[in-house]
Amino acid sequence: MFYHFDYVSGGNAYIAKTEEERDRIIKRHEEKGEAVTLIREGFYIIDDYKKKFRNLIKGNLTYTKESYEYGAGEGVWFIVDDETKAAYGADETSGNYEGVLANDSFYYIGLNHGVILPLEMRGDRRPVVPVEWLKEHYEINKEFFKGTPEYDNL
């Protein structure tokens, strides 16, 4: 088994193949006062020197029952495995999938990159994260919706 640590700092991605290399990367950036974020240790466990999760797809974070039903929401990127990418490309409409959020959410407080989220495929439309799951785990950022028709329905 080959352990692969991926770190993001200042917009750059760093790969460390050993724990010593990981520690060196963290120390170097912390000395400069830069934040270093572990995407998810153990998430990048690689067999045969290939990343399991290496594909990017676009999806939506829904925010109301109506947005969920329609498939609308905050457009975000997900890092997914080959199976999920194939389902996305084939316009699947069923199955259980998950993806790692690749950017931070404006719609949900504390929902940041590196979080594994459930995905529902929606055929030729973007996959979505179910609104009930999101609201169960995160607080909606009502300030973001202030002055919009959706504000009263959140």
pLDDT digits 0-9 by tens, 76-128? 998 888 899 999 999 999 888 988 888 889 999 988 887 888 999 999 999 99
Contact 101, 127 (CB under 8 A): no
- Which residues share a beta bridge with 9? 12
Q: What is the pLDDT of residue 105?
A: 93
CA dihedral (82, 87, 91, 95) in degrees, to 10, reads -150
pLDDT at 16: 62
Q: Which residues pair with 57 in a beta bridge?
A: 78
3-state secondary structure of 111: coil
| pLDDT tens-place string over residues 28-84 | 767 776 655 555 443 333 333 234 556 889 999 999 999 999 889 999 998 888 899
Q: What is the pLDDT of residue 10?
A: 44
Q: Which of 8, 112, 119, 128 is nearest to 68 (CA)?
A: 128
Percentage, residues of the chain above pLDDT 70: 71
Strand ranges for the chain from DSSP E: 2-3, 5-9, 12-16, 37-38, 45-46, 53-61, 74-81, 97-101, 108-109, 116-122, 125-129, 139-140
**What is the pLDDT, as a whole number, of residue 46?**
30
| pTM, entire model | 0.66
**3-7, 20-24, 148-152: lowest mean pLDDT where?**
3-7
- Ranges of H-type helices in 59-130: 65-70, 82-89
- Nearest CA to 40 out of 23, 30, 53 is that of 53
Return phi, psi of residue 29, to 5°.
-80, -35
